[in-house]
């Protein structure tokens, strides 16, 4: 048993969509969330820059005593996950990638849409999974331009948000996609807007949060790291930005 916290890291607010699922699935576990904030968004930054930012974040979480780390950022996973696992071999590190596998296995129309950042779509994890499971499937990709900024600025419920979503998913819907993958942890915060744009079409939205929580639980068991049953969890929120941003993280987590 190990009552130390699980570290959860994202470029900003987005990883809180994963944090919420971890809290629900692993109620005895303490969670220390680091939302960079200062350098968000990551989506179009050079790979090497994202790798350095991810390294700083993971090092900070380990310095806080975290027993494992969930990289709750698709862009950081695409740019840095192999590097992080090589640098910190004694620490279980969970990464994210767009949920292309379940979408491709479940589609009935044979058309799957993937919304993600430019860096995630260009990353090896996405390309590897799409090649493996996308045979015979039309996979339509689009960057969610402006999505991260909308979430970071708390402008999810605005006409601008709906316009951005329509621009991103329009072609997917026109070409018959019946699964739309949310390939960035910020994007679930726009889920209600995406659902409004989808309307009455028979389209399912797919994201990775529940799968990440399951994988985290598996690694806790594999390495005997679970907190004691009935342990009272603590939740901490860290950032490379300022105290105002840290408080925004805390509020958003419990909305």
Catalytic residue among 40, 73, 104, 164: 73
Active site residue 184: yes
Distance CA 183, CA 74 (A): 7
Find out whether 185 and 98 touch, Cβ atoms under 8 Å. Answer: no
List b or e across 86-106, with b for residues whose CB sees 16 or more CB atoms inside 10 angstroms. Answer: eebeebbbbbbbbbbbbbbee
Distance CA 106, CA 100 (A): 10
Find out whether 42 and 76 touch, Cβ atoms under 8 Å. Answer: yes
Catalytic residue among 40, 66, 104, 184: 184
Distance CA 191, CA 200 (A): 15
Active site residue 164: no
- Catalytic sites, residue numbers: 73, 184
């Amino acid at each position: 048993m190990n009552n130390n916290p699980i570290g959860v890291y994202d470029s900003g607010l987005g990883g809180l969509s994963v944090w919420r699922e971890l809290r629900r699935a692993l109620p005895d576990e303490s969670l220390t969330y680091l939302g960079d904030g200062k350098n968000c968004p990551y989506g179009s930054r050079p790979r090497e820059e994202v790798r350095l930012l991810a390294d700083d974040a993971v090092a900070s979480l380990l310095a806080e005593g975290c027993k494992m780390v969930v990289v709750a950022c698709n862009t950081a996973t695409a740019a840095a996950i192999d590097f992080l696992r090589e640098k910190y071999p004694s620490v279980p590190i969970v990464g994210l990638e767009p949920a292309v596998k379940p979408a491709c296995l479940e589609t009935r129309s044979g058309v799957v849409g993937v919304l993600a950042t430019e860096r995630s779509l260009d990353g090896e994890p996405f390309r590897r999974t799409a090649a493996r499971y996308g045979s015979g499937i039309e996979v339509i990709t689009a960057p969610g331009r402006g999505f991260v900024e909308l979430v970071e600025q708390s402008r999810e419920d605005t006409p601008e948000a709906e316009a951005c979503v329509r621009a991103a998913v329009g072609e997917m819907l026109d070409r018959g996609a019946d699964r739309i993958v949310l390939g960035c942890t910020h994007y679930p915060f726009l889920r209600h807007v995406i659902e409004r744009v989808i309307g009455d079409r028979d389209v399912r939205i797919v994201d990775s949060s529940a799968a990440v929580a399951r994988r985290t639980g598996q690694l806790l068991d594999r390495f005997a790291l679970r907190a004691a049953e009935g342990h009272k969890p603590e939740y901490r929120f860290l950032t490379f930005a300022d105290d105002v941003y840290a408080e925004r993280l805390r509020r958003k987590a419990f909305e």
